[in-house]
Structure 1
Amino acid sequence: MNSAIPLSKALEAEQIIEIFNDLFLVSHDTCLKGGAMEPLYEPSSTGAPACIYFREDFASSALHEIAHWCIAGTVRRKQLDYGYWYDPDGRGSEAQQAFLNAEARPQALEWCFARSSGIRFSLSMDNLDAPIDAEAASRFASAVVIQARGFVAQGLPRRAERMFDALAASRGLKVSLDTLEFAVEDLR
């Protein structure tokens, strides 16, 4: 890992890849790669490690996809894209609500990772072709805050804790999750 990153400098995608792969390539047979047109998780196959692909070179996309991986259990990590469904942009309100229900926890974890890596977190409704439903957006923001506060109170899943700590350490920081505060106002 690059220990020469200035304290105030946010991590870039390549640094996040290096940190993730240092932590999990050998221990969990999983690698992280950027440059994808769309995010994708491929489970390991004959001789090849599992691979988490994130969009282009977006550090925030890397953190988001890592969050999904850290939450996924053993059974889910054996399935393409963890066995989840995904409807592209233009989802109707019912499909959008199902998406938001599934996304609150990973986005809260992404927010934790963003805090330890110096990256600005932006809430994602991920339905760019649909009109914004202000009420749904407000409920979603509240759900993400509740999940983030839950991580503070109960701790992170083990793989997520290792990643959180490694992101902060790579920037020369000692960030304790229990000292972080999460509020809806931070999402505006």
Structure 2
Amino acid sequence: MNHSPNDLIMLFNDLFRDAFRTVLVRGDEEPEYLPAGSTSELAQIVFAHGYYASALHEISHWCVAGEYRRTLHDYGYWYCPDGRTPAQQQAFEQVEVKPQAIEWLFSVAAGSKFHISVDNLSGGGASDECGFRSRVLGQAESYLATGLPQRAQSFFDALKSFYGTGDNFSTAWRDDVRRVVPLYSAKELYEAN
């Protein structure tokens, strides 16, 4: 399956440009959210280096951000780059659960490969990678059971329609859970026997 970021730009902008005055934009550098500067401007979700996965991740952050946060540069969140201390990494992992859960659901809906990201290669990695994977999975499962936030649900549905994954989403989801959270899958199999 072809995964062009141009498709995500088209889908996102068709859904949200007019209703939320926000567009998805291919960037050359690091990702960034730029709120609208005036009533005639559009807010921009800039994804990194034209990467498909980066676009899905940045859209996920936008889907989580409330109305006030969408008026702030990068939603008003701190970002400490790679090389975080254990305390900084733990804080990072706490705020990344919901966006990564949504990104994972978007990825499966698009038929693309998702990777959990602890984003701390030179800082010692995750504070609790197994726990983080389990929390992201738990949040994604909760969204599937109770529904995604409204904007995320709209984009999720658009991805399933565009990529034709709606009929086999449940099977693809179960397969991806086994790939991304293998310890969870082994535990689930053990408890079933």
What is the TM-score with the length of structure 1 in the denominator? 0.88
Which residue identity does 2:101 align to in structure 1?
A
Displacement of 1:129: 1.1
Question: Following TM superposition, by how much is the alpha carbon of 1:176 offset from its aligned partner in structure 2, in angstroms?
Answer: 7.9
Q: What pairs up with 1:27-176 in 2 under 5 angstroms?
A: 27-46=19-38, 47-133=40-126, 136-175=128-167
Percent identical among aligned pairs is: 41
Which residue of 2 is the match for residue 14 of structure 1? Answer: 6
Q: Residue 183 of structure 1: SS of its match in structure 2?
A: helix
User: What CA distance in whole angstroms lies between the structure 2 residues aligned with 1:91 and 1:154?
Assistant: 34
Per-residue deviation at 1:77? 0.6
Out of 161, 177, 187, the residue aligned to residue 183 of structure 1 is: 177
Contact kept, 8 Å, 1:104 with 1:144, in 2: the verdict is yes
Q: 1:21–1:30: 8 Å Cα contact kept in structure 2?
A: yes
* Distance in 2 (alpha carbons) for counterparts of 1:102 and 1:148: 14
Query: Once superposed, which parts of structure 1, at least 4 consecutive aligned residues long, lie more than 3 Å away?
Result: 175-185
Contact kept in structure 2, 1:108 and 1:148, CA below 8 Å: yes
Taking the aligned partners of 1:109 and 1:129, their CA distance within structure 2 comes to: 26
Return the offset for 1:18: 0.7
Structure-2 separation of matches of 1:107 and 1:87: 17
What is the SS of the residue equivalent to 2:122? coil
- Give the drift of 1:169: 1.1
Match of 1:122, as an amino acid?
H
Indicate the structure whose relative CO is greater, using CA pairs within 8 Å and at least 6 residues apart. 1
Tell me, yes or no, if structure 1 residue 26 matches structure 2 residue 18: yes
What TM-score comes out, normalization by structure 2 length?
Answer: 0.86
Seen in structure 2, the aligned counterparts of structure 1 residues 96 and 145 have a Cα distance that, compared at 3 Å, is same
**How big is the shift at 1:174?**
2.5
Gaps of 5+ in 2: 183-193
CA distance in 2, matches of 1:130, 1:36: 25
Taking a change above 3 Å as real, the CA distance of residues 167 and 99 of structure 1, as seen in their structure-2 partners, is: same
Q: Is the 8 A contact 1:33 1:51 kept in 2?
A: yes
- Give, in whole Å, the separation in 2 of the partners of 1:176 and 1:154: 19
Task: Give the alignment's Cα RMSD to 1 decimal.
Answer: 1.9
